[in-house]
Amino acid sequence: MSEAEQPPQRRAALSGRVLGVLALVVALVAVVVALTGRGGEPQSAPTTTPRPSSTATTPTVPEVFTAVAPSVVTIRTADGALGSGVVVSDDGTVLTANHVVADGSAVTVTFADGTTSAASVTSSDAAQDIAHVAPTTFPEVLVPATLGGDVTVGADVVAIGNPLGLTYSVSTGVVSGLDRTSGNLKGLIQFDASVNPGSSGGPLLDAQGNVIGIVVAIADPGKDDAFAGIGFAVPIGGAVGGGGQAPQL
């Protein structure tokens, strides 16, 4: 019996099977297209590149103080000058402001552990208001400070010193400006951490505890040696200067 002569029921069954096969083929083609992306190579799952995580952390101010305070000293002269300084090398050399030791009288250095030593000025630069002092007696453990760091306007700073004889005082602020002039001192870092007479020669630190400057002066509009919110430091790398005429601490 030919297909034309087949009963209507059998022809309908065959047609149903053909349509089912065609529907399955169409579905498979759709799946392949979806997986390959317009018929190309199979697409891999989208990936993301994770951002590198920063392991560097900024120490807190108490941590900076704990780390750097052993490097800070009190400096006095026989004529009554008071200032601060910071140990900068393994041989005990102390960096300070020149005007603290410029009176020519005997110099005494007191370390953080209480060790007191006579000292001599080994070099001085009045144009930069910087001096190096060499003590004759040292603590059992010397802790030189780390020198240098990035100096950026707005960056956090910490000052450690002996304002008004209050030893090992700490204050915080920011870098307010760069390349400032105060009196005949030039190229100074301007900052707003509180400093007063006795602070001069102490370290100005960045947020990591690196010495970025030596405190040398304050703005003194009232001519009363009172802090007016503006302090100055000689950059640790040196600055071009022309004398020590700024209001000195």
Q: Which residues are catalytic?
A: 99, 129, 200
The residue count for the chain:
249
Strand partners, 150: none
Q: Three-state DSSP class for 13?
A: helix
Q: Three-state DSSP class for 242?
A: coil
Dihedral of alpha carbons 23, 27, 32, 33, sign: positive
Query: Which residues are CB-neighbours of 106 under 8 A, at least 6 positions away?
Result: 77, 78, 118
Contact criterion met (CB below 8 Å) for 204 and 84: no
The CA-based angle 242-245-247, given to 5 degrees, is 140
Q: What is the dihedral of CA 226, 126, 205, 229, to 10 degrees?
A: 20
- CA 204 – CA 190 distance, rounded (Å): 11
The residue whose two tokens read 């070099």 is 123
